[in-house]
């Protein structure tokens, strides 16, 4: 086995996915081949409707491919039980969305902690994780605020802290800067880049935004549910 293989987080081969309803089936991913190594910073690009969000949902194990080989950390996902998949989703994957998806009635600190209460983590460690995640994204001073009192960029950084508190292997982010102005978008990307560089968290982002690409190591361009192009991206300076 080559070293590259040992560092593989995901291997995807000939993945197919269709949205299925009673009497119709809409093919959306039509044979996707790629892999993601640990520590990678990958950006999925492509026009609206090309399948970026659907592919992120597969990587986040929210949906399962109907065909193809899907391997996470050396394990064939199709052979895992529902319980094992739930554990991967809960412990290994941090999701970030365009609209943040924070709970309005909870403080920022409670939002970050809420996800951990569903894991088997003792209360003392939970508090430590919440604090270090908020420190890491520069949001510790806002811990007692509610989402409604924050700017979009601050909300997104709180959402990153929520994902980070899980200590995930991978952060999967769907258009994380699309609701933000340029300055806030950059701050969010810088936060993700820091987590990637300092802590080795793998980051996979879907985005239309050219600014986002400046932070990625690698770009995969989708078109009509296929990979059109895969290339190294330039780092931000
Ligand atoms: P992107 O994120 O690149 O805009 P999506 O993955 O959201 O692309 O969508 C890809 C295709 O799948 C689109 O044609 C879209 O209409 C279709 N699609 C997305 N979600 C659903 C759904 N829940 N049911 C049926 N079709 C869907
Ligand atoms: Mg999308």
Mean pLDDT in residue range 58-81? 96
Ligand nearest the Cα atom of residue 178: 2
| Span 2-28, pLDDT tens digits | 555 669 999 999 999 999 998 999 999
Ligand nearest the Cα atom of residue 221: 1
Task: Annotate 22-32 with b (16+ C-beta within 10 A) or e (fewer).
Answer: eeeeeebbeeb
- 78 within 8 A of 70, measured Cβ to Cβ: yes
Best residue for ligand 1 mutational test, from 17, 18, 25, 28 (most atoms within 8 Å of Cβ) = 28
Strand partners, 29: 17
| Span 183-218, pLDDT tens digits | 999 999 999 999 999 999 999 999 988 999 999 999
Q: Which CATH number fits domain 38-64+81-232: 3.40.50.300, 2.60.120.260, 3.90.1300.10, 2.40.110.10?
A: 3.40.50.300
pLDDT of residue 237: 43
pTM of the model: 0.93
| Span 111-158, pLDDT tens digits | 999 988 878 888 999 999 999 999 999 999 999 999 999 999 999 999
Give the gyration radius of the chain's Cα atoms: 18
């Amino acid at each position: 086995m080559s070293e590259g293989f040992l560092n593989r987080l995901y291997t995807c081969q000939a993945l197919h996915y269709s949205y299925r309803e009673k009497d119709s089936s809409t093919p959306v991913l039509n044979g996707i081949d790629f892999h993601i190594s640990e520590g990678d910073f990958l950006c999925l690009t492509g026009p609206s409707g090309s399948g970026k969000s659907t592919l992120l949902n597969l990587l986040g194990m929210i949906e399962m491919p109907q065909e193809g080989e899907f391997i996470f950390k050396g394990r064939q996902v199709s052979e895992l039980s529902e319980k094992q998949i739930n554990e991967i989703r809960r412990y290994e994957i941090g999701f970030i969305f365009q609209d943040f998806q924070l709970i309005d009635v909870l403080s920022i600190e409670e939002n970050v902690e809420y996800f951990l209460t569903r894991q088997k983590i003792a209360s003392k460690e939970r508090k430590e994780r919440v604090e270090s995640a908020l420190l890491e994204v520069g949001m510790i001073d806002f811990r007692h605020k509610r989402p409604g009192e924050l700017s979009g960029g601050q909300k997104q950084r709180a959402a990153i802290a929520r994902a980070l508190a899980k200590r995930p292997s991978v952060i999967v982010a769907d258009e994380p800067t699309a609701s933000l102005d340029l300055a806030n978008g950059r701050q969010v990307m810088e936060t993700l880049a820091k987590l990637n560089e300092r802590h080795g968290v793998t980051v996979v982002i879907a985005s239309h935004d050219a600014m986002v690409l400046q932070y990625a190591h690698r770009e995969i361009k989708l078109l009509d549910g296929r990979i059109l192009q895969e290339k190294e991206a330039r780092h931000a300076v």
